[in-house]
Amino acid sequence: MATSTKGEEEQKGGGGSSSSSSTIHAKTLLKSESLYHYILETSVDPREPECLRELRRISAAHPRGVMASAPDEVQFLGMLLKILNAKNTIEVGVFTGYSLLATALALPHDGKILALDTNRESYELGLPVIHKAGVAHKIDFREGPALPLLDQLLADEKNKGTLDFAFVDADKSNYLNYHERLVELVRVGGVIAYDNTLWGGTVAAPPDAPLSEPDRMLSEITRAFNSTVAADPRVEISHLSIADGLTLCRRLG
């Protein structure tokens, strides 16, 4: 029988109040549930800002709540943004705004995030929390398919090399198209982070693994993306096994 991965385009999310609720194991590829709980209990729970906790709960209650990033992953992204001194950023794929809020909290007061999503409705679920957190002024949300919006940005030479950071977490079939645009939009030394690059671990599954058709297709797309960026001389990469896989591409000069 074909099995479905824990992939975000497939699964329904469960509720959960603390980050250590058992449903949250869907958000990691770690083999040991207790080890993942340990990470959440020792690093996320004591540090997670109340607004992120609130938006995580709102997102988990959504029928497609599994699409929201993992709490340890957004904690990592927040620290990465601070290490980079990021100010000018973009997010492709917003959903309820959970990773967006984590980004907004990590940026300085005059930081900016261009947030792209085809669906404004789900963003509006998180918007009251974003306002309450006092970071809405950093966000410029644009509704629509991301690719033409990125092309619009690229059409203006002045935008090239201006982004410090990009987080890509939308339609996986466009990741390579996003990469071609973003590699020109980020500055030298800037980072593009691609989410779900291990696709539930299926990228390493044997050819006869009993995967559902959507998973087989997404797994193939993800493998093609991974091998293309690994061979791209314009970036250096690091493929992290956090959450569902996160690939960092740092633009080289």
Cβ proximity to ligand SAM, 68 vs 81, nearer residue: 68
Cβ proximity to ligand SAM, 67 vs 229, nearer residue: 67
CB of 212 to ligand SAM, least distance (A): 18
CB of 42 to ligand SAM, least distance (A): 22
CA angle 142, 143, 147 (to 5 degrees): 85
Cβ proximity to ligand SAM, 154 vs 209, nearer residue: 154
Residues lying near Ca ion in the complex (CB under 5 A) are found at: 169, 195-196
Task: Quickly count: other Cβ atoms within 10 Å of residue 9's Cβ.
Answer: 16
DSSP string, 137-157: GGEEEEES-HHHHHHHHHHSG
Cβ proximity to ligand SAM, 62 vs 208, nearer residue: 62
In this structure, which amino acid lies at residue 224?
A
Contacts of 203 (CB under 8 A, 6+ apart): 197, 219, 222, 223, 226, 245
Residues lying near ligand SAM in the complex (CB under 6 A) are found at: 8, 67-69, 93-95, 98-99, 116-119, 122, 145-146, 169-171, 174
When CB distances are held under 5 to 8 angstroms depending on the partner's kind, the choice from ligand SAM, Ca ion, none that residue 94 binds is ligand SAM
Q: Give buried/exposed letters for 136-163 (b at 16+ CB in 10 A, else e).
A: bebbebeeeebbebbeebeeeeebeeeb
CB of 74 to Ca ion, least distance (A): 11
When CB distances are held under 5 to 8 angstroms depending on the partner's kind, the choice from Ca ion, ligand SAM, none that residue 89 binds is none
Cβ proximity to ligand SAM, 93 vs 245, nearer residue: 93
Distance CA 212, CA 29 (A): 18
When CB distances are held under 5 to 8 angstroms depending on the partner's kind, the choice from Ca ion, ligand SAM, none that residue 164 binds is none
CB of 215 to ligand SAM, least distance (A): 15
CB of 247 to Ca ion, least distance (A): 12
β-strand partners of 168: 92, 194
Which two three-digit tokens encode residue 106? Answer: 């990590």
